[in-house]
Amino acid sequence: MNEFPVPIHHKIYTLCGKQIMLDEDLAVLYQVETKVFNQAVKRNLDRFLDDFRFQLTQDEYRNLRSQFVTSSLEKHGGRRYMPYAFTENGGYMLSAVLKSKVAVEVSIEIMRTFTKLREFSLLYNALAKRLLEMEQKNSQEFRKIYALLDELMAGVRDADAKVMGFL
């Protein structure tokens, strides 16, 4: 499997509560130009329902750009149209449309990444629920733990400040 310049999970963004990937990021992963990528999708539009692929509005793209470190719009001199967003199902459908060896490998990695993110989310939610239950049952003990953690963190901040020469 090829190594990707940026891990796939860094190219999955959250928009309106959905995890999505942008056409330009997918095109890079699939090693084709964005225009060629979108043309292949347009030839198979019957596979991409509105909840699989949709075009971003300017407001959505502006909000999404706040999740980026660097805007690809600025890097590439701008786009004539707003990017398309692909949901997890849209990502799965790409494997039926793009048939090269690279496309198969990329599709597999995208599917694995979405699965790992979903598993992490379930684990995180279960852990948060368990902590909340424990806190409700043992609120006095948790207050003591929080107070101790606050003391420890204050000590660490003071030590860090001394090392950096702020105190």
pLDDT per residue over 90-148, tens digit each? 988 888 888 788 888 888 888 888 888 888 888 888 888 888 888 888 878 878 888 88
**Nearest 10 degrees: CA dihedral of 133, 134, 138, 143?**
-100
* Across 81-90, average pLDDT: 91
The helix (run of H) or strand (run of E) holding residue 124 is helix 101-137
- Cβ atoms within 10 Å, residue 65: 14
Query: Looking at the predicted structure, is the pLDDT value of residue 52 above 60?
Result: yes
Find out whether 111 and 83 touch, Cβ atoms under 8 Å.
no
Structure tokens at 42: 């347009």
* Across 79-97, average pLDDT: 87
Burial class (CB in 10 A: 0-12, 13-18, 19+), 87: buried
pTM of the entire structure? Answer: 0.64
pLDDT range class, residue 84, cuts 50, 70, 90: very high
* Sequential DSSP letters for 49-110: -TTTEEEPPHHHHHHHHTT-SS-HHHHTT--SSPPEEEEHHHHHHHHHH--SHHHHHHHHHH
* Across 70-81, average pLDDT: 57
Structure tokens at 94: 């790409």
